């Protein structure tokens, strides 16, 4: 079990390649999080003096473990009182106990049969997981060497004119608080005082941080600082590295793993014949990635899921859909989630997308998915990221289930549809009657 954190693999590799720039320097790392930067610098810049900082319970536990200092940790969650024994065994053991507890607390409400099973399974395997994880954490801690760890507000941590200021600051207020909320409610400790890093405080922190030598990791494009690298990955926001040090310029992109199939596509001026039947073909991720690059809006960050299907009518492929088991999204066990759905370009049909959506709710689609999952299904969910009151694409096919904002403040609409008993052929006929024009 590794430490948790948000610095992606590509970014870590870039930093590790050029970490020698910091050898012999004092490095002041704010918002240490999972100590990824410290791990890299210990190995790649052994002459650097590392000073770490963070205010979360998890990071403070790791930081104090690295310094050989004890912390006051007292379990106050009545259902987790048994956890106290593991916290008291030592600081490395406390790190493991917190990691496992965070995973366990995801299923604390036991609101679904799936959550019930996961809660019970986690408790049954706790001792075995704890013993194995302690060995791994002790090894990981041994690979990190820091001079000091401080739990002060990152706003007050900078500037550090005698060294290099390094940080990946929280990108929205309350993000880390939400991540560690239940853990920190379950364990009483000497929590340091700090203020929420609002947009204004964040910008002031960046200003303080960049008064001397600095390395800033950010998921926002900035034209006021020198960019040295940009990392782009499917399904995730781009990450930028800004610095006034002599880092080589870098642009890192994920290479599209695609397979080019020999399918006939519905051309823009093709018509779907009357009486045509829909046929589904399950395809792998590289195949769906090929079509996704062709037809999905470049503004949409794609993710990976499965099973994936191409849909054809009259022998020509017109649509593509990627499902994902809805339990991964926190929904009902009897539901499945549409991660992505898109169609070919058509000059004949303005509402070709609605044909694909109707296909996703028909009886034959449900039968196919139930066979794949070996479980009963009753409904499908999907999400449209928009600030509009409704999504015209889903209106009339799916029902609006929820309107809200994600953790970054991006507005979304959740849509829900119940499976029906229509056949593929009946779906085409119904679509033509209602949406052909």
**Structure token digits, residue 433:** 């009657």
Q: How confident is the model at residue 236 (pLDDT cuts 50, 70, 90)?
A: low
- Residue 408, class by beta-carbon neighbours within 10 Å (0-12 exposed, 13-18 middle, 19+ buried)? exposed
Distance CA 228, CA 248 (A): 7
Four-way CATH pick for 278-435: 3.50.50.60, 1.10.10.60, 3.40.50.720, 3.40.630.30: 3.40.630.30
pLDDT greater than 90 at residue 305: no
How far, in Å, are 353, 371, 392, 402 from residue 379 at the CA level?
19, 15, 20, 15
pLDDT greater than 80 at residue 296: no
Q: What is the pTM of this model?
A: 0.65
**Where in the chain are the domains?**
9-253, 278-435
Write down the pLDDT at residue 171.
65
* Residue 338 CB neighbours (<10 A): 22
Write down the pLDDT at residue 1.
36
Average pLDDT estimate for 169-197: 79
Average pLDDT estimate for 386-414: 88
Over residues 80-137, the pLDDT tens digits come to 999 999 999 999 999 999 999 999 999 999 888 888 999 999 999 999 999 999 999 9
Length of the chain: 437
Could you tell me which CATH number the domain at 9-253 has?
3.40.50
Closest CA to 182 of 86, 97, 77, 62: 77
Over residues 202-224, the pLDDT tens digits come to 999 999 999 999 999 888 889 99
Distance CA 323, CA 338 (A): 4
Q: How confident is the model at residue 259 (pLDDT cuts 50, 70, 90)?
A: confident
End-to-end CA distance of the chain: 56
> How high is the mean pLDDT of the chain?
87
Write down the pLDDT at residue 332.
67
**Strand ranges, E, within 197-315:** 213-218, 227-232, 239-243, 250-253, 278-283, 308-313
Distance CA 410, CA 404 (A): 8
* Residue 370 CB neighbours (<10 A): 14
Relative to beta strand 74-75, strand 187-188 is: antiparallel
Q: Express as a percent the part of the chain with pLDDT over 70.
A: 90
pLDDT greater than 50 at residue 374: yes
Contacts of 423 (CB under 8 A, 6+ apart): 362, 363, 364
Over residues 1-48, the pLDDT tens digits come to 333 445 677 778 888 899 999 999 999 999 998 899 999 999 999 999
pLDDT greater than 90 at residue 145: yes
pLDDT greater than 80 at residue 64: yes
Over residues 146-182, the pLDDT tens digits come to 999 999 999 999 999 899 999 888 765 545 556 678 9
Write down the pLDDT at residue 421.
93
3-state SS, residue 335: strand
Distance CA 321, CA 356 (A): 8
Over residues 309-345, the pLDDT tens digits come to 999 998 999 999 999 875 555 556 688 999 889 999 9
Closest CA to 228 of 14, 36, 12: 14
């Amino acid at each position: 079990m590794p430490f948790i954190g948000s610095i992606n693999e590509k970014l870590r590799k870039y930093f590790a390649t050029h970490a020698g720039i910091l050898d012999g320097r004092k490095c002041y790392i704010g918002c240490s999080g999972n100590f990824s930067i410290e791990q890299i610098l210990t190995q790649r810049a052994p002459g650097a003096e590392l000073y770490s900082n963070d205010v979360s319970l998890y990071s403070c536990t790791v930081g104090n473990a690295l310094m050989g200092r004890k912390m006051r940790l007292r379990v106050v969650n009545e259902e987790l009182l048994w956890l106290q024994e593991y916290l008291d065994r030592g600081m490395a053991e406390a790190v493991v106990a917190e990691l496992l507890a965070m995973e366990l607390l995801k299923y604390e409400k036991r609101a679904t049969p799936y959550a019930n099973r996961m809660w019970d399974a986690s408790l049954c395997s706790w001792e075995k997981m704890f013993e194995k994880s302690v060995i791994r954490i002790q090894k990981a801690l041994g690979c990190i060497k820091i001079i000091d760890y401080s739990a002060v507000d990152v706003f007050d941590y900078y500037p550090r004119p005698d060294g290099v200021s390094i940080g990946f600051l929280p990108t929205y207020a309350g993000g880390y608080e939400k991540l560690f909320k239940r853990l920190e409610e379950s364990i009483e400790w000497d929590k340091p005082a700090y203020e929420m890093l609002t947009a204004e405080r964040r910008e002031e922190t960046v200003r303080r941080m960049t008064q001397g030598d600095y390395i800033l990791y950010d998921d926002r494009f900035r034209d006021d600082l020198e960019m040295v690298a940009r990392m782009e990955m499917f399904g995730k926001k781009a990450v930028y590295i800004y610095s006034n040090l002599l880092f080589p310029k870098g642009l890192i992109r994920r290479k599209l793993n695609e397979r080019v199939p020999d399918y006939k596509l519905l051309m823009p001026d093709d018509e779907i014949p009357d009486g045509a039947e829909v046929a589904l073909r399950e395809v792998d991720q590289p195949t769906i990635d090929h079509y996704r690059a062709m037809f999905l809006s470049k503004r949409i960050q794609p993710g990976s899921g499965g099973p994936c299907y191409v849909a054809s009518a009259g022998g020509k492929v017109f649509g593509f859909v990627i499902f994902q088991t809805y339990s991964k999204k926190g929904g009902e066990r009897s539901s499945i989630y549409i991660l992505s759905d898109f169609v070919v370009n058509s000059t004949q049909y303005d509402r070709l997308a609605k044909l694909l959506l109707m296909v996703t709710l028909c009886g034959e689609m449900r039968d196919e998915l139930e066979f794949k999952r070996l479980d009963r299904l009753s409904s499908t969910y999907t999400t449209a990221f928009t600030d509009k009151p409704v999504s015209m694409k889903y209106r009339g096919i799916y029902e609006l289930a929820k309107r809200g904002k994600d953790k970054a403040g991006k507005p979304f609409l959740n849509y829900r549809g119940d499976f029906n008993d229509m056949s593929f052929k009946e779906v085409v006929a119904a679509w033509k009657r209602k949406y052909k024009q």
